[in-house]
Structure 1
Amino acid sequence: MTDCWTVSLELVVSRSDTHLHTPMYFFLSNLSFTDICMSTSTIPKMLLNIQAQSQSISYIGCLSQVFFLMVFLVLENCLLTAMAYDRYVAICHPLMYPIIMNPSFCVFLVLVSLFISGVNSLLHTLMVLQLSFCTHLEIPDFFCELSQVIKSACSDTLINNILMYFFSVILGGSALFGIIFSYSLIVCSLLRLPSSGRKYKAFSTCGSHLLVVFLFYGTAFGVYINSSITESSRKTAVVSMIYTVVPQMLNPFIYSLRNKDVKEALWKLFGRITL
């Protein structure tokens, strides 16, 4: 649960320092909150099962994990896209940045992201409710993941698989395309800058976000490839755990350790606490 403490600390730091009340840190705060929620949707039950030396989970509990895990996965996907757009506006249109990325628009982007993730997750969960399962159901995972639950059904899952892959391509593909397109425009804009120092300073603000994007999509693609080429339940469980825990655990460290403003705000916060 160390990652939850780290993310919580980052949320407190972002809210306590007025210098961090900017669109970039607003999205980062929401991303940190999403990381907490994603971790708490799976880890507590896993730890409880380890303590009780039991691998069982109720039907309702399994569906709840499917629903919430999908909500926060899609929400993080949308937030990373919004953060890429924020960096594009900040670097390519700096004079218009305060006007375009105003507080109302930032809140609107988060609410739209939450709406998309909620509707998508609700649809898939309702479709899973239509399936029938065998009496003794075993999922080769630490938690209930949509693809593994669908694979374990005894009834026809054609529609479920079509919907799962369709929305994965639409939501994941469009978000990844938006991020790549935003950074291609950013790179083109930076190449036109005369000063190499200004180029480095401008692009350094994107480094943390790019690293988080690589972790999120890299581990997700790793899970997809692994599930396609291996039948090992142990490998599937380990890889799934990596993509739902490791990126969320590393995100706060990436943004905190690479960001001078966050480190300064953290020292100020500790200074006020110790006084």
Structure 2
Amino acid sequence: MRAAAAVIGLLALLLAPFSVAWAGPFSNWTAVVVAGDYHAHSGGPTEAFDNARRDVSKALVELGFDKASIQQFSVRPKRYPADAPGTADARTLYDSLRASAQTAKAGCLFYISSHGGPDGAILGEELLRPHLLAAILDDACPNRPSVVVISACFSGVFIPPLQKSDRLILTAARADRASFGCGESDKYPYFDACFLASVPDAHDFAALGARVQTCVARQEKETGAEPASEPQVWIGPALRPLLPLYAFERSPPRTP
């Protein structure tokens, strides 16, 4: 009887839907993707930030994030009923990230696309300051690896307050440089366009950051945008040796 039960159990495992059995390294991560503004550098409206929000969220699903664990936020949420983003403000982001991180406990990703300045990134009517974001992430996602992506001018200012040994930080610019591509007719800011273009060929977030740096430098040179924004990549010492465990897996391996 025991032998028969063992055989039945093995057959059940082999015949189970492969999508259920397979789980990538990001399948139990929570993610927040934010469009923090809708104004172009001219002051007129732009879809660039919300386009980035929408398409970065789709790209994360392709990299193995669970769609149900990706939360989107916009300063004009009613404009996008198909995506149904939440309202982008600091309290809502904190509450949502903290609640989601109670279920998806393996890691956290935070991505914001917006305007920025030496004191932080625009978040609707608020300013998301580096120390505030650090406090949000430290409280909502303690003791787990995290990836933070800040697509905004002067976003390098976020790196020192956000540094933790198990965290990777990718910013669109140095602390003293602007980034580009926030015009009324731009589909995405340069950094977000390069992030999306680099995803298909990157092995992990460290490689993705390097590819984004190369892509942004090339696009700025081609368009004459200067001074160069110089996107930054910072990787915590405890996370660096674990990066092979967080390789992108865009789809389950095929069955024999």
TM-score normalized by the length of structure 1: 0.26
* Pair member with larger Rg: 1
Pick the structure with more strand per residue. 2
Pick the structure with more helix per residue. 1
Structure scoring higher RCO (CA < 8 A, sep ≥ 6) equals: 1
